[in-house]
Structures are given as structure tokens and as C-alpha cells.
Amino acid sequence: MLDEFCGLLHSKYGHPLSCSPGKLAEEFIAHSGLSDYPSLLELHSILLRYGVSEIKGVGNLPSTLKGHHFSYRGKDYIIEYEAGAWTGTIEFIMGHELYEIIQEKYETLWPDYQRKPVPLICYDANRFSAALFMQAKIFREAFYESGFDVIQLHHRLYKAYSAIAIRARDLVDHDTYSITADFIIAIYERNTQEHPQEWGLHHREDFRVRCVVRSPSIKLGRRRGNYRSPRYPRHLIPKRGDKVILGSIVDLVCDTCKPVYLEKVTGFDFWGWNDLTVLARPVFWFGKLAKIVLVGVRYEDRHLIQPQTGLVSPAVVRRSYQLI
């Protein structure tokens, strides 16, 4: 069925394959009959029909590799994932590997087609997997209903926090179920290889930005603090690998282990059109601080995150100048 599916894509989108990872996921859902809320067992049975003969957990993968796939001499594919991985992670890996398998098959059928190199193809594979398990209409409704609540959606949809963020960003560009409000999501994780049960006291230096997404309209300027510029200074928006900034609300969450709501971040333009509202919340594993999830929206759209702030009753900081 994989050859048939690739042939359908070729006839519909031409050559080279021109559809986005999200659109490709929608085509696969329609072709395979995947349900609105797919489970691990359901996707497993479907992949067996699409040229994957075995999916198994192994204990010898490198620490930087959560999963991979391979095929011997043109036979069916085998997907391997890290033994002991959380169910949501296994599902996401299966979707990720499926995207790469589709790209490889397409390249085999049309040899002049060239798939993207690593790591670019990995980014697209993550977007494809997120779209498989968090389908557009369902996810958009849940995202707005929850108040852009990444933590709640993690539990409701049983997907990783970063997968929730990736899917939210992808729907900004969706042709039917788009997320029109501007937002920032940054996920800080404890930067350690120890098991959470072995963690001691935490410090600000223990955390790094693991994932960050933002709407295209949240634009960054080249200067640090041009007061009249409609762009945000680069030091304001977290970037992958960044440490926790001293005095930021993420720093306050580190100190107090409680959610913090920053009502207004100012200092970006003369009229206040680009002021922001930000909420940062802690995530605990085994009673230890494991992650901090930051969500920001424009000040004029702060009502959109009220369902979330009303749920957690955060400490409130009224105003900040160019610091979140």
C-alpha cells in the first residue's frame, strides 16, 4: 500500500512532492483510515499494511537517538525505538519514522526526487507525526478551549510537551483550521542525564530551553532595544539552548516552584501595540521540578490564556520592561 500511496501523492501534487508535512499527514489519514484519536495499537496495525514488518523496543540505541528505521535489500522496514520509552514517545517516533519511510519510497520510485538532508528532514518528520496524532480541527478547538495550555493538552492528548508546541505552530499556516492569534511557547527542561528519582535540589543553571516556537508575526529585530521598533529585541525571545535569565519569570518559577503570570511586558514600540502577556508554569516528575512551560500572547489577546490562569491561580507580576 505504500507504493499506492506514493503514486496517489505523485498524481495529486506532482513532482517534486510539493505538499507540507501537515498536508501529507492529512493525505495519509484519508488513505489509511486512521481514526480521529489514533492509538499506538491502531497505528502499529496500519504500518504493517504500509511496508513496516516489525516495530520493537531495543536497549542499545545511542543516547542521542530515540528511534530509527532500516530495511535489508529492499524488504519491509523495521522500526526500532528506545526500550522503556513512554507510550506517547513511541507513538511520536512511529509517526516520525513513517514520514522518513514515505520520503525514501518516493525517492526510490522517482529517482530524480531528492529528500531533504538531516536535520531538515527530521524537523518535517516531527511536524508530520504531530499532525497524525493531533488532527487539525480537534487540536485547534482544544488549544483555544484550554487557554493555550500546553500542560493540559499534554495530559489530554497524551503527547510530549514539545509535540504540542510543534503542532500549535504548524496550525498557524493551516488553510482551514488556523490559529490566528500570535503566541510564543518555550519549554525549559532540566539538563541532566540522571533519572528524576536521583535528582537533588535544583538551580537556575540546571535548565535550558529545549523547544521554542512562535508565530511568524512575533518578529525579531537586529538591535537589542530600539524603542520605536515594531520588532522584538533578540535577547527577549528564548532560543533553543538558552539558560534561564536572572530576574525573569522563569527564574521566579525556579525559585518558588509555583506558576507566575506577567501581566504586561512593555518597551517594544511607542504605542504599546507589541506589549506581551506571559505565563510560566512548573512541571514536576517524582516531586522534582523537571520542566517550565512558558506561554506568551500579545497583551491585547491576554483573555485567550485566561482559562489557563484561572485554573492555576498564579502569582502576578504587573509589569516588566523588555524582560520575560
Query: What was the pLDDT predicted at 161?
Result: 95
Query: What was the pLDDT predicted at 197?
Result: 87
Query: What was the pLDDT predicted at 233?
Result: 67
Fold type of domain 2-131 = Arc Repressor Mutant, subunit A (1.10.10)
Query: What was the pLDDT predicted at 223?
Result: 47
Query: What was the pLDDT predicted at 298?
Result: 92
Q: With respect to CATH, is domain 146-321 assigned 3.40.1000?
A: no
Cα 295 to its chain centre, rounded Å, is 13
SS3 for the chain, per residue?
CHHHHHHHHHHHHCCCCCCCHHHHHHHHHHHHCCCCCCCHHHHHHHHHHCCEEEEEEECCCCCCCCEEEECCCCCCEEEEEECCCCHHHHHHHHHHHHHHHHHHHHHHHCCCCCCCCCCHHHHHHHHHHHHHHCCHHHHHHHHHHCCCCHHHHHHHHCCCHHHHHHHHHHHHHCCCCCCCCCEEEEEEEECCCCCHHHCCCCCHHHEEEEEEEECCCCCECCCCCCCCCCCECCCCCCCCCCECCCCCHHHHHHHHCCCEEEEEEECCCCCCCCCEEEEEEEEEECCEEEEEEEEEEEHHHHHHHHHHHHHHCCEEEEEEECCC
Query: What was the pLDDT predicted at 75?
Result: 85
* pLDDT means over runs of 10, the chain (324 residues): 92 83 95 93 93 89 85 87 89 95 92 88 94 94 96 94 94 89 95 86 92 86 47 75 92 96 82 85 95 95 95 92 80
Give the residue extent of every domain in the chain: 2-131, 146-321
Query: What was the pLDDT predicted at 227?
Result: 43
Query: What was the pLDDT predicted at 272?
Result: 65
Query: What was the pLDDT predicted at 221?
Result: 59
Query: What was the pLDDT predicted at 231?
Result: 63
Query: What was the pLDDT predicted at 213?
Result: 94
Query: What was the pLDDT predicted at 234?
Result: 66
